Structure 1
Amino acid sequence: WVSSNTAVATVAADGTVTVLANAPLATDTTITATLTVGYGDPVTASFVVTALPAQLQLALTPDEPTLALGTVATLTPDFTMTDGSPAPSLDASDLTWLSSDPVLASVDAAGVVSTLKEGQVTISAVLTDTADDYDYDVSDADAVTVSAKAIVDFKLYAESSTTLAEQQTLLIHPIAIYSDKTTAPYTGLLDWTSSDNSNIRIAGSAPPQVNQATPVTITSLILSADVTADITVTDVNAVLTSKTLAVTFIKGALDSALTSVETSVDAVTLPIDVNYQLSAVAILSDNTVKALNTSSGVAWTDDDTGTSTDVTVDGTGGLVTITSAATNNSEITATFDGQEATAALAIKQSGTLYSIEIVPDDITLAIGVNHSLKALGTYQYDVDPATKYLVVDISDKVTWAVTNTTLATETSDQLTGLTVGSTTITASLSAKTATANVTVVSEIATISISPTTLTLSDDSSLQAQAYPVKAYANYTEGYKHEITDQVYWSSTAELTVSNITGKKGEITPLSFSGTPEVTAELFTEKGTTVNNALVVGFETRATTSLDITPATITLDNDEKQEFTATLTYDDATTSDVTELVTWSINNNTDAFVSNVAGLRGQVSAVGNSTATIAVTAILPGSVCDTSACTATATITRRDESATALTVSSDTSIVAIDGTLQFSVTGTFADPVREVDLTQEVVWSTDLTDSMERIATISNALGTKGLLTRIASGTIKVTATYKDITGVSGDIASP
């Protein structure tokens, strides 16, 4: 081996070439290898070596990472020189960062990668420098795999107040928090321990309790003194951080024994071949209401004792299934802790599906955001002597179909936006169809929380109550959509905000000090959107009165009335506490009042009666044992039904895509009077199957009686109330 210019480079006997540190730059030397075998002529080969400056190298770490959907990771650049000399002072901000597919993952100027959708993407970092002291181009690329969402944490949520009487039971829900900010009940096994093993029982036995499925009940023995215990829950696989929840049991301080059980309805008329969801609540002697769910120990039974299973009910969930073979009326019973409540089902074998309504009929959602689909079915029955109608939720019975599946997709009654644009979705059952417009918009601009302000009283009866708040997505195109059940709720230490399914957004104060904040977060394919947090304030104010509106009412046969409870404070401010009070009546034979969430304060007349009934609202709480937290309204039952219905507008012209709100009044004879029955009737049109798409009229809560024209033609609108009907005049198109 020979080097032609040893001032540039030398070559060793094994062929190793070394460029000298002080070699003149851009100077060449020729390296030659010569081989002589025996007495033959030698053979040679050569190559040229040029002395150049040491080269800069770039490597990104971590190398080829796998990131769960919704997570954020930073790629760190590592700069080195080929000769081992110190690298120039460079960092991530000196690089140009690129993503091969920004739909899957984006990268910012600091090398922070945000995962947006499952798949594989290449993240590149490029440095170009032509300054006098350097002359190089350097880059590196990292293959990033975006995997499915993963559980990153879990939190503990109590079903009710964590301060309760001795021997009461508290249900604790561990909720899994995923990398994309979605939540779900934690389905893994957890170990449960208590700081007080003598007085506390977990899942019915002395702690510790290992490998427990969730949720889990916590209770106490009979106490000699008040007890506060820390309940600690640990991931069996030691992957997630343990969580602790403090629970206080008060010796004999609270009288909260079970008083009664109530179902969501006392009676309902249903067609065959549908499902109907019942719910139940427990009324406690301290005037609190406890929702009874699948984990509460409520047992549902039906009275279908025949050999067939024409009417069945889920034993823990309350979902009633009425088969096509059902012929008889049935009674469903909810049993909890020895108390029972029943719901009577009137089964209409003659019921046939008349029309379907999708609620709402105009759906707006953002890319990557889900929308829960809902369909109502209007059924006809007992056509002789007069046709009657009833409306049932048939969301789980219809077949859903999206017209353009590149814009949106439907899975398990959930509609998901894919691409910006407009399409339609159809619900079909028994040869009947309904169609709703679907608009997929680009992204959510902001998330807002309603109410925008929330002030709680630190000495009022509202302590330990759950205050529901809602979250809304505000789209860049100006649309607004409720997303309370989709966001991840969090708060500062003074509050808890529930992420339990069905109770999302319920705020419970833990202390009455500071300025706590409530935050709603939603992950979309554009990243995570965080709202401006709701700041909760506290005031010192006392309750002065509780009032029910209306104070007096006359209730005719089968009529309903929504009552409102309003709390007044000593500073003259008021709060609507309809959903916080416990409602009762002194006559369950002639009326029924609901304590189920969303229906609280709704009174329904039962049977024919002329009785006088007292409706009472009580606001539970430690300072509410006075008249300031109790109110009563009077109902006078009247054994009378409407004799005629008058539909308004009688005649009208409605253009295509136009709407018209109808109302109806019922005429009563003794005394002669007109009563608004718009929300009580079932609305329909005289459309035949061939005309069904001319117009629709809504039977949904909040839009009842709203007609929407779809095509040209003349129709009539019918309102049906028990055995009587009212019909509009001709509703024409221009």
Structure 2
Amino acid sequence: MGVNTQYTATATYSNGSTADVTNSVDWSSSAEAVARVSNTSGSGSYTKGLTTPVSVGTTNVTASLNGVTSQAVTFTVTGGALVSIAISNPYPSTGIGVKQQFQATGTYSDGTTANLTSSVTWNTSSAAVTINASGLATSVAAGTSNITAQFYGVTSTISTLTVTSATISTVTILPNTTTTLPDGVKQQFTATGTYSDGTAYDLTSSVTWNTSSTANVGISNAAGSVGLATANQVSNNTNISATYLTITSAITTVNVSAAVLQSIAITPTSKTIAKGLTQAYTATGTYSDGTTPDITNSVTWASSDPAVATINSSTGVTTVAAASGTTNVTASLNGVTSNTAILTASAAVLQSIAITPGSATVAKGLTQAYTATGTYSDGTTPDITNSVTWASSNPAVAGINASSGVATVVAASGSSNITAVIGGVTSNTAVLTGSAATLVSIAVTPLNPTLALNTGFVQLTATGTYTDTTTSDITSSVTWSSANTGVVSTPGVSGIAVLYSVGSSMVTATSGGKSGTSNITVQ
């Protein structure tokens, strides 16, 4: 458990055409206690359809659109439980109005991790900061706020966000020189705010974008496409600016040319990608005026075989869904279709190794068995304990069987770093600490003797055996007892027991939870 899975949805229409509808469908999980599936759209990549494991079990994932429901896909969760959540953010201190994306990473008991950003419930401790369901925080007033995330009973560490009293001084947008776009092409603008204390922050998603003529050049203020300008018709001198509070940036001019798209070239033209991984494509247009702008976000992308790899029709990011096969990737705009790029799918590749336990203290002479869990590009997490090669950084403290992962502690102090490696991928480091050998057993001698009453006494000896196989005379340190003191007295510190009468008595030596016995018969 601990790996998110991104599902995609492809619609087939009555005319035989297909389209990626991942961000249009309504996703559902039949058992949200097992796994949650997101219905929140992301920016630049999928978020809808992202499935997050919650607990061990099985659930069915489906997608619905316009009354049509997909086949059910079984999602099985195995392995450990969620034990902790760590959150992070770009700016621990900001000026008022800055937006920033928090990230939440869950760690599971089997050592795996998962991005839980879109699955957790986000919380803020004060009105100085607001945070939405996707983890996007906005600094709204001077002060301090503790940000936390919760998921099925587990609460994250606290991330403190301080909002200073610094005020916005200037807003700068890029590109900041005159831009010429062919009709229909898009251009991403960004905004940076400089505050009175000299700090600068990305305000692209915080400002309000302005255009002097939407008919000529539109610019988006919608989530997921903020600052994205579109050339709508041939024109000159459309002014683009950005406003935050009372501060407006300098104007950038956009001209829209009548140049005609002649060809589209997409790259890379050939690629082999492992199942579960992504590949981003770019598209360059050649126009009649000789210009060659990047039109990646302007074209419509398509994959000839979505069973092999799906593609985000807007961004050109593909996700490989199969372990073999090929698909043809193309881009089209204004009736012009690109060259064909061939994407070949291959078997999932190992991306990380998690070994457990992460920390252990073991007595000299004892062993510690380690397990290794691999995380592959397709989200699977098999046990690879017997496939990796194990190593100990300090064999003088603990050696480890390179094949089985069983370590043996050979020192009474010190530590060693345990790692596992396969195919160039190295695990996290587990720390194994050696401690003094501990008592394993006690032997009392003579064992079960038969003695004459007139012998008077018997000398008993207690010998301890330790985890490192050493032995020691512990006669004077054990606690002695006699079951029948009328026959045999309780031995003293020296181990001498007095014989009182005919009969038998079980004499016991005890230390550290271990004991040894000898049944003494007196005639």
* TM-score normalised by length of structure 1: 0.39
Which of 328, 333, 340 in structure 2 is aligned with 1:721? 333
Contact 1:654 1:709 in 2 (8 A): no
- Name the CA shift for 1:601/1:561 in 2 (closer, same or farther; >3 Å): same
- Name the CA shift for 1:615/1:483 in 2 (closer, same or farther; >3 Å): same
Which of 291, 296, 318 in structure 2 is aligned with 1:706? 318
**1:374 offset after TM fit, Å?**
7.6
Contact 2:192 2:201 in 1 (8 A): yes
**Tell me, what secondary structure is at the counterpart of 2:338?**
strand
* TM-score normalised by length of structure 2: 0.52
Residue identity opposite 1:615 in structure 2: I
Name the residue aligned to 2:25: 395
Residue identity opposite 2:106 in structure 1: N
- Superimposed CA distance per residue, residues 30-85 of structure 1 (whole angstroms, 9 cap, x where no aligned partner): xxxxxxxxxxxxxxxxxxxxxxxxxxxxxxxxxxxxxxxxxxxxxxxxxxxxxxxx
CA distance in 2, matches of 1:484, 1:431: 23
Residue identity opposite 2:150 in structure 1: L
- Name the CA shift for 1:705/1:395 in 2 (closer, same or farther; >3 Å): same
- Superimposed CA distance per residue, residues 548-579 of structure 1 (whole angstroms, 9 cap, x where no aligned partner): 10113222222222211112346653211122
Residue identity opposite 1:475 in structure 2: T
Contact 2:274 2:320 in 1 (8 A): no
Name the residue aligned to 2:292: 674
**Tell me, what secondary structure is at the counterpart of 1:675?**
coil
Instruction: Provide the aligned C-alpha RMSD in A.
Output: 4.3
CA distance in 2, matches of 1:445, 1:576: 30
**Tell me, what secondary structure is at the counterpart of 1:447?**
strand
CA distance in 1, matches of 2:37, 2:276: 25
Name the residue aligned to 2:515: none
Residue identity opposite 1:706 in structure 2: T
CA distance in 2, matches of 1:395, 1:420: 26
The answer to whether residue 255 in structure 2 is matched with residue 633 in structure 1 is no
**Tell me, what secondary structure is at the counterpart of 1:664?**
strand
The answer to whether residue 322 in structure 2 is matched with residue 683 in structure 1 is no
Residue identity opposite 2:329 in structure 1: V
Structure 2's unaligned 5+ residue stretches are 40-48, 347-523
**Tell me, what secondary structure is at the counterpart of 1:676?**
coil
The answer to whether residue 194 in structure 2 is matched with residue 560 in structure 1 is no
Which of 458, 463, 479 in structure 1 is aligned with 2:113? 479
- Between the two structures, name the one with larger relative contact order (CA 8 Å, sep ≥ 6): 2
CA distance in 2, matches of 1:519, 1:706: 34
Name the residue aligned to 2:214: 588
Residue identity opposite 1:680 in structure 2: S
Name the residue aligned to 1:617: 242
Name the residue aligned to 1:538: 164
Which of 508, 513, 520 in structure 1 is aligned with 2:140? 508
Name the residue aligned to 2:471: none
Which of 135, 142, 146 in structure 2 is aligned with 1:518? 146
- Superimposed CA distance per residue, residues 364-407 of structure 1 (whole angstroms, 9 cap, x where no aligned partner): 35xxxxx9x98555677999xxx8978673322x7x567x9995
Name the residue aligned to 2:86: 447
Residue identity opposite 2:93 in structure 1: L
**1:506 offset after TM fit, Å?**
3.5
- Superimposed CA distance per residue, residues 247-280 of structure 1 (whole angstroms, 9 cap, x where no aligned partner): xxxxxxxxxxxxxxxxxxxxxxxxxxxxxxxxxx
CA distance in 1, matches of 2:32, 2:119: 24
Contact 1:409 1:415 in 2 (8 A): yes
- Residue identity (%): 21
- The equivalences for 1:199-278 within 5 A come to none
Which of 103, 123, 126 in structure 2 is aligned with 1:489? 123
**1:582 offset after TM fit, Å?**
2.1
Contact 1:379 1:391 in 2 (8 A): no
Contact 2:37 2:51 in 1 (8 A): yes
- Name the CA shift for 1:431/1:453 in 2 (closer, same or farther; >3 Å): closer
CA distance in 2, matches of 1:519, 1:578: 22
Name the residue aligned to 1:470: 102
- Name the CA shift for 1:382/1:566 in 2 (closer, same or farther; >3 Å): farther
- Name the CA shift for 1:483/1:444 in 2 (closer, same or farther; >3 Å): farther
Which of 242, 255, 270 in structure 2 is aligned with 1:651? 270
CA distance in 1, matches of 2:210, 2:336: 32
**1:534 offset after TM fit, Å?**
1.3
**1:615 offset after TM fit, Å?**
0.5
Name the residue aligned to 2:55: 419
CA distance in 2, matches of 1:706, 1:506: 31
CA distance in 2, matches of 1:390, 1:697: 7
Q: Which moved more, 1:466-475 or 1:498-507?
A: 498-507
- Name the CA shift for 1:489/1:599 in 2 (closer, same or farther; >3 Å): same
**1:729 offset after TM fit, Å?**
5.0
Residue identity opposite 1:594 in structure 2: S
Residue identity opposite 2:242 in structure 1: A
Name the residue aligned to 2:281: 662
- The equivalences for 1:171-210 within 5 A come to none
- Superimposed CA distance per residue, residues 163-184 of structure 1 (whole angstroms, 9 cap, x where no aligned partner): xxxxxxxxxxxxxxxxxxxxxx
The answer to whether residue 170 in structure 2 is matched with residue 577 in structure 1 is no
The answer to whether residue 309 in structure 2 is matched with residue 696 in structure 1 is yes
**1:634 offset after TM fit, Å?**
1.1
